[in-house]
Chain A
Amino acid sequence: MHNGQPETTLIKLGQPEKDTWSLCRDEDGLPEVRPAIVPLSVWQQHIDETDLAPWLPSDTELSPALAEELTKAPLVAIDFPAFTDGRGYTLARLLRERYGFTSEIRAIGDVLVDQLFYMTRCGFDALALREDQHLDDALRALGAFSVSYQPGVDIKEAMFERRLREAT
């Protein structure tokens, strides 16, 4: 890559990290390389294999039954087929806030520098950058804002509540 950064485009918990998982988009058969992130339907047939994890398409309807199933996964990836597709943000929030999912949620696909701040706020803790993205831009973008008005997965308090708390 550039600037002597490690050869990775994964950011985990705000830090660059070597990615040990391979990504398989093929619906037919199992990848030989493990651990691997595989389509949801493939994973569902091999749910007990701990070196497999599912990725969800952006149009996934997250039912309670599916959310329950996903608790067995070592990580859940959410796909961004295009950076303009905002459904993944809602999926991540639902997984974290409604279903209490605590393992890694990883953004895959069209993951660009300027989405990372929002993704983090919605509960993504692993960001698999699209290959052409610059890591130093990405790390800078993560800290673009030091304040937010809305509660999210990161901050539980709305700004209006914070102001009231600090005023007393």
Chain B
Amino acid sequence: MYRYDTYDQTLVDERVAQFRDQMDRYLAGRLSEEEFRPLRLQNGLYIQRHAPMLRIAIPYGMLSSKQLRTLADVTRRYDRGYGHFTTRQNLQLNWPKLEDVPEILAELAKVQMHAIQTSGNCIRNTTSDQFAGIAKDEVEDPRPWCELIRQWSTLHPEFAYLPRKFKIAVTGADHDRAAIQVHDIGVRLWHNDKGELRARVLAGGGLGRTPMIGDVVREDLPWQHLLTYLEACVRVYNQFGRRDNKFKARIKILVKALGIEEYRRRVEEEWSHLKDGPQTLTQAAVEAAKAHFPEPNRREVSEAAIAAYEQLRQNDRAFARFVTNNVTDHVVPGYKAVTLSLKRREHAPGDVTADQMDAIADLADVFSFGEMRVTHEQNLVLSDVPVDEIQALWDKLQELGMANPTVGTLSDIICCPGGDYCSLANAVSIPIAQAIQERFEDLDFLYDLGPLDLNISGCMNACGHHHVGNIGILGVDKKGEEYYQVSLGGNSRDDASLGKILGPSFYREDVPTVIDKVLQVYVEQRHDDEHFLDTYRRIGIKPFKERVYA
């Protein structure tokens, strides 16, 4: 993964010093609450319902075992001994003390981490495919490109006061695992028929109050121009995005207001001046970025070992379940990526204790070259496990409670922190997730349902991505009471779509029963091999509505 040189380290160290100075001025009363706000937000620091919240950047989800041990240490010393992995591949601390944050950032800087631009009206942490570099359907490893974007966007002097937050996601695979169609900008790397690398650039996607699928701005951007083109896209937004109403300030509103043709025209006009400028990428610059992501020193895995693994899968039903759901094929024969499920009933989705972090770091060292990835589904991935070690890893994960063979099933719920922690939330979300996981515990039933994304957000800011859940649940507030709205048919993958609202909202205690009825309709109506989304798309929302509101 990317390793800092002295320039990266200097910048992060200077950022810590700068924030320490800002915090001192704030505490001394020389910076008002209002003026301190964007400064702390651009260092990941929120003021939350119970305490401040600190969001730590995990650039495009890549994390080393050393970094994870430091995170464990930080949560013990400065928080309550656990952290929360988010849907944007970051880690949140829910209980730090305000005045400790500069010290926390200094600790993070020692392991090449920071909280820069994890919040605020700026370009946020760039997200990507958790199987980058090892996916069988990949045409280009997105990580070097994400790193180039990270550097370009970090402390960008022109874009620190955008109308609103700005999120970029990048994929280099045939199948989109980075949800690029619901980001402010989505980038898909692909090869044209001459084998040349091109970027498809989408703009104006997003969730939140006004969910939208992004439009294509440029289909075939030559790679050399990626940064200048992004600069043009963001510059047009900075100049023309609305600033009078924060709910209408995202780029999706601008793209919709102008129309994609006019937005594209303005971007292309802007880019005509930036093109071939000093941020034009060269082969040497890209090679230098790629050198940070070498193939790990994988050993040979024998045919016999691969056969033994397949044999075990045949013979051991529990192991087979784990492999089917939590193990992903790897581009190198004999290797697999293993997803650690952070969806356990006793913890909120994405929560990990300090002791678990240490244990995971040890597993990464033993089984996967000391690296792991955070997924936007709030799980962790060990990306390079030889097949003859998967059983040993599985045993360890069972001890840790992270071997739930439910990745990609109904039980693998994406969920925001909700009203238990977040000051924005209208309603709790974690107890809803737990109630659903409890109701649908039977593995055979979960497997019979097949792949199913259930996403929960505690408010319309949509941190739990409910719009793109096959089943989405949104907490709403009606006269001080918590209600839940259910939507169906969302999808964040290749043919992205936004869910449709089923109808009037429900009491909290009724939600599991409502989900049960929705699932009954699917099970009764599905054709062979139809996933939930396929059936929904074929039969529409009406049969579900009739059953639920009968």
A residues adjacent to B (C-beta < 8 A)? 61, 83-87, 89-90, 93, 98, 112-115, 117-119, 121-122, 134, 137, 140-141, 144-152, 156-164, 167
Contact = CB atoms under 8 A, between A and B. Distances in A.
A138 B452 CA distance: 54
B238 A87 contact: yes
B148 interface: yes
A89 B151 contact: no
A9 B323 CA distance: 66
Given A83-B35, A85-B243, A114-B22, A160 B158 contact: no
A86 B11 contact: no
Given A117-B157, A164-B288, A137 B39 contact: no
Interface residues of B, number: 44
12 contacts: A85-B243, A86-B160, A86-B161, A87-B238, A89-B158, A90-B238, A144-B14, A145-B18, A148-B155, A157-B278, A160-B289, A164-B282
A140 B158 contact: no
Nearest to B150: A149
A86 B157 contact: no
Given A84-B121, A160-B288, A150 B11 contact: no
A160 B148 contact: yes
Interface string B7-30: 100110011011001100100001
B523 interface: no
Contact of B158 (A90, A141, A162, A163): A90
B159 A164 contact: no
Given A137-B25, A148-B157, 17 more contacts: A83-B35, A86-B238, A113-B25, A114-B35, A119-B157, A122-B157, A141-B21, A146-B14, A147-B10, A148-B155, A150-B155, A150-B157, A156-B278, A157-B278, A160-B288, A161-B278, A161-B282
A160 B151 contact: yes
A158 B282 CA distance: 11
B35 A149 contact: no
Interface in B145-203: 148, 151-152, 154-163
B38 interface: yes
A134 B156 CA distance: 25
B161 A85 contact: yes
A87 B152 CA distance: 19
Contacts of A89: 157-161, 238
Contact of B279 (A114, A150, A162): A150
A116 to B, nearest CB: 11
B5 interface: yes
A103 to B, nearest CB: 21
A145 B284 contact: no
Nearest to A168: B284
B10 A160 contact: no
Interface in B224-278: 227, 235, 238-239, 243, 273, 277-278
